[in-house]
Amino acid sequence: MFQPPGFVQRSIVTSLGTMVYHTTAEEAPWASASFDPAPLVFFHGFGGGSSSYEWSKVYPAFAADYRVIAPDLVGWGRSAHPARDYEPEDYVTTLREFLEQVSDRPVIAVASSLTAAYVVRVAIARPELFRALILVTPAGLSDFGENYTRSLFAQVVKTPVVDRLLYTFGIATAGGIRSFLEQRQFADRDRIYPEIVEAYLASASQPNAEYAALSFVRGDLCFDLARYMPELTTPTFMIWGEKSQFTGPEIGRRLAALNPQAVRVFHALEGVGLTPQLEIPAVTIALIRSFLQEIEATAALPA
- pLDDT for 156 equals 58
In a domain, residue 1? The reply is: no
> Residue 165: is its pLDDT beyond 80?
no
In a domain, residue 165? The reply is: yes
Pairing, β 236-241 against β 263-269: parallel
In a domain, residue 73? The reply is: yes
In a domain, residue 13? The reply is: yes
Residue type, 289: R
How far is residue 132's CA from residue 291's CA, in Å, rounded to a whole number? 10
Span of 43-52, 92-101, 155-164 with lowest mean pLDDT:
155-164
Terminal C-alpha separation, the chain: 45
Distance of CA 136 to the CA centre of its chain: 8
Helices and strands of the chain, counted as H and E runs = 10, 8
Give the pLDDT confidence of 34-62 residue by residue, as tens digits: 667 899 999 999 988 999 999 999 999 99
In a domain, residue 287? The reply is: yes
In a domain, residue 2? The reply is: no
Q: How far is CA 164 from CA 75, 212, 300, in A?
A: 16, 12, 52
% of the chain beyond a pLDDT of 90: 79
DSSP of 77-130: TTS---SS---HHHHHHHHHHHHHHH-SS-EEEEEEHHHHHHHHHHHHH-GGGE
pTM of this prediction? 0.94
What mean pLDDT is predicted for residues 139-157?
75
User: Angle CA(30)–CA(33)–CA(35) in degrees, nearest 5?
Assistant: 50
> Residue 28: is its pLDDT beyond 60?
no
Pairing, β 130-136 against β 66-71: unpaired
In a domain, residue 117? The reply is: yes
Summary mean pLDDT of the chain: 91
Q: For residue 137, give the 3-state DSSP assignment.
A: coil
What mean pLDDT is predicted for residues 12-25?
95
Range of the domain at 55: 7-300
Q: Where are the alpha helices (DSSP H) in the chain?
A: 88-102, 113-125, 152-157, 162-166, 174-180, 194-204, 209-218, 249-257, 276-279, 281-300
In a domain, residue 176? The reply is: yes
Give the pLDDT confidence of 213-224 residue by residue, as tens digits: 999 988 899 999
Please state the domain count of the chain. 1
State the CATH number of the domain containing residue 162: 3.40.50.1820
